[in-house]
A and B are shown apart, each in its own frame.
Chain A
Amino acid sequence: MNLRRFFTRTQSAPAARDRLQLLLAHERASAGGSDLLAKLRDEILLAIAKHVQIDSDKVSVKMERGAQVSTLAVDIEIPFEAAAKKAA
């Protein structure tokens, strides 16, 4: 093994601890039935489906669970026609 690489590397255990703390905090919350991000995801999709017929192939949902903030990105293609029809 390359000695210089060996000595200049940062430790990996702190990263492991941080990742686990974050993951488990989110998992415990969701086991208690309060996975806010998932709830928001489902309700947003339902709300949109009320107004436009969504083609589920055209829906992309991204989440990133963070320590301080989580992000939820719902990306939906709404064809002009579908929007017009439901609104009528």
Chain B
Amino acid sequence: MGKVIVVTSGKGGVGKTTSSAALGAALAQGGDKVVVVDFDVGLRNLDLIMGAERRVVYDLVNVIQGEAKLAQALIRDKRVETLYLLPASQTRDKDNLTAEGVEKVISALKSVFDWVICDSPAGIERGATLAMRHADIAIVVTNPEVSSVRDSDRIIGLLDSKTLKAENGERMEKHLLLTRYDPARAERGDMLKVDDVLEILSIPLLGIIPESMEVLRASNLGTPVTLADERSVPAVAYFQAARRLKGEDLPITIPGERRGFFGKMFGRKAA
């Protein structure tokens, strides 16, 4: 049975879709069977970021409404053969996402794929709560910036109360993915410190993705950043995050800082 991951944040524009595509591709590049599901009904973008926008035939709402079979709506990536996309609807309303419908789709996907990655819309409304509802693991995407951290805290609260895991009294596995980290601003002391964000949110760190031109470039080309240039700094950071998701215990380095400083801190927070 596969694992269901929700990539969520509360705040918009922090890097959820970028991260869903990059982590999904990274896991699939390692041979795992992965499906990335776009929950942003009405404002889909994952298809564009993954370069599949011209090949959408059916979408999540079609499947939930019984207008198409799940297998017909899945789009297989042209570059990585174990990577699939389930697009969101661009024209239909969010209200077409029913809790029962989503549950059926997720459990069908779980039985076939190793990883089901749900790209959540921003906000705390229906789309976001449905995206997190069936998750085993949550990746909270946060920028080192006050409003993003505050919204992440709010989302963590929802993860601990509004999900099936929470309702069944189980513990939701939560990870922090710090994105758009800018070493130059950190150096000047104008950005929240990694340490501070970790202390405030107190969930373990999955990785730090630096602010990078490579991300923009990859999205221009419609290629997840881990496929665009495997050796770029953000790609390496995403590959490492993917390995941590699979349970590897890799030390985290803060972009632009020397190794070592961070080891002790991560050791403490990973507990």
**A residues with CB within 8 A of B:** 1-2, 5, 12-13, 15-16, 19, 22-23, 26-27, 30-31, 41, 56-57, 59-66
Q: Which B residues are in CB contact (< 8 Å) with A56?
A: 68-69, 72
Residues of B contacting A: mostly: helix
A64 with B69: CB separation less than 8 A: no
CB proximity of A23 to chain B, nearest CB, Å: 5
Q: Which B residues are in CB contact (< 8 Å) with A30?
A: 91
Query: What number of A-B contacts does a CB cutoff of 8 Å give?
Result: 52
Residue in chain B with minimal CB distance to A55: B69
How many residues of B are counted as interface, with CB atoms below 8 angstroms from the partner's CB atoms?
Answer: 24
B90 with A27: CB separation less than 8 A: yes
Q: Which A residues are in CB contact (< 8 Å) with B222?
A: 15, 19
Bound-complex Cα distance A15 to B232 (A): 20
CB proximity of B193 to chain A, nearest CB, Å: 25
**B residues with CB within 8 A of A:** 48, 53-58, 68-69, 71-72, 90-91, 216-222, 229, 231-233
Q: Which of B53, B217, B233 contacts A19 (CB 8 A)?
A: B53
A63-B56 in contact given A19-B48, A27-B90, A31-B91 (Cβ < 8 Å)? yes
A22 with B54: CB separation less than 8 A: yes
Q: Which 4 A-B pairs have the closest CB atoms?
A: A16-B220, A12-B220, A65-B54, A12-B217
Question: Apart from A19-B220, A22-B54, A64-B55, what 10 extra A-B contacts exist at CB < 8 Å?
Answer: A1-B233, A12-B216, A12-B220, A13-B220, A19-B48, A30-B91, A31-B91, A61-B72, A62-B55, A63-B56
